[in-house]
Structure 1
Amino acid sequence: MAQVAKQDKKAKETKVEEIEETVMEETTAEESATEEQTADETETLKEKNKELEDKLLRQMAEFDNFRKRTLKEKEEIGAVAKTKCISELLPVVDNFERALQAECGDADFKKGVEMIFTSLKDTLGKMGVEEIEAEGQAFDPELHYAVSRIEDETLGENIVANVLQKGYKMGEKVIRHAMVAVANP
């Protein structure tokens, strides 16, 4: 009996050791699975983070392009509006020039008209409006609009002989071409 009890005890100890080994193996397997799952989750999170960073960079670039495009459009609209306004004022300038050329018996009235005209010209000058030099210059279709031809031996070929209506430009943009008579075309 003592021997049977020893064998039972040894069998129980062996069984306990087997159970402990199984539990250890299962724990190790679970830990490995958890580590793999954590590694997979980490990799997934890294990929997601990279996608979000890429999306953010694209959104920032898109917004920057939108801002630049909007600013450019705003400047273009401002320039067009300024040009349109000035082109509407040019007939007023022409009328002032005609008024100053007309005979006037009242010197004070004429001086007042001259002052208004000077003020208007100064204001246009501050806005960057310049008169196009035409008379005596070579004909330039970019600046001049030829409405007649004149034969004049004292002038060279394709020289502006007479300005019928002044032209104006703002920077390099022509607001109104000068109407001219061209000599010896």
Structure 2
Amino acid sequence: MADKENKKNKKKAQEPQEEPQEQPEATEAPDQSDPVQELQEKLDAQHEAHLRLAAEYDNFRKRTQKEKEASYANGKADTIGKLLPIYDNLERALNQPTEDAAYKKGVEMTMAELEKIFQGLGVSAYGQAGDAFDPNLHNAVMHTQDESQGENVITQVFQKGFRMGERVIRFAMVQVAN
């Protein structure tokens, strides 16, 4: 019997022995993680939050700058709009006949100063007889049939229009032919 056991032992020795497979050690348990990885994730999250905050601030700064510019332009246009009746009165005074040369000269000088101020602010008057009618610039208050004039031509200006750049401050009141 000893021979049989020796043969069995030899067979077992000849057979390649299976080495126990090494189980990979769990480096990360569900409740434990690598502190370096944790800190890196926190750093990345903080960096992303910082970038978002910086972009939000930049957008806020640009938006407030645009609002400030628009507010300034609106205030300027409103102020000029309130000065336009003075311009109209000076223009009517210049068109009235008068014997007093000093009075006329004073009104002319006042009108010249007001026009100079308007020019400095980028305000220009528009609307003359013979111009083409543009509904974006003119307010047609009368219509006339005149074969000597072309289609949609301004025949008379009742009140000049004013604009600051491309912005219309006051539409010109006009009479349009045909």
Q: TM-score range by the shorter chain?
A: 0.7 to 0.9
1:138 alignment partner, one of 132, 141, 153 = 132
2:170 alignment partner, one of 151, 171, 176 = 176
Instruction: Give per-residue Cα distances to partners, 1:17-66, cap 9 Å, x unaligned.
Output: xxxxxxxxxxxxxxxx9xxxxx8111111111111111111110111011
Output the CA distance in 1 between the equivalents of 2:97 and 2:128. 26
Instruction: Give per-residue Cα distances to partners, 1:131-185, cap 9 Å, x unaligned.
Output: 113310111111111111122222112110000111111111111111111112x
List runs of 5+ in structure 1 lacking aligned partners. 1-32, 34-38
Across the two proteins, how many residue pairs are aligned to each other?
Answer: 147
Output the CA distance in 2 between the equivalents of 1:161 and 1:83. 28
Secondary structure at the aligned position of 1:160 is classed as strand
Output the CA distance in 1 between the equivalents of 2:47 and 2:123. 50
Residue 83 in structure 1 maps to residue 62 in structure 2: no
Amino acid at match of 1:92: I
Q: Please state which structure has a larger fraction of its residues in helix.
A: 1
What TM-score do the two structures reach when normalised by structure 2? 0.79
What TM-score do the two structures reach when normalised by structure 1? 0.76
Residue 100 in structure 1 maps to residue 94 in structure 2: yes
Amino acid at match of 1:69: R
Output the CA distance in 2 between the equivalents of 1:143 and 1:100. 25
- Identical-pair percentage: 49
Which residue does the alignment assign to 2:150?
Answer: 156
Output the CA distance in 2 between the equivalents of 1:67 and 1:88. 32
Which residue does the alignment assign to 1:129?
Answer: 123
Amino acid at match of 2:122: G
Checking the alignment, whether the CA contact within 8 Å between 1:163 and 1:180 is kept in structure 2 is: yes
Moved runs in structure 1, 4+ residues, more than 6 A? none
Structure-to-structure mapping, 1:11-160, within 5 angstroms: 40-160=34-154
Q: Superposition RMSD on alpha carbons, in Å?
A: 1.4
List runs of 5+ in structure 2 lacking aligned partners. 1-26, 28-32
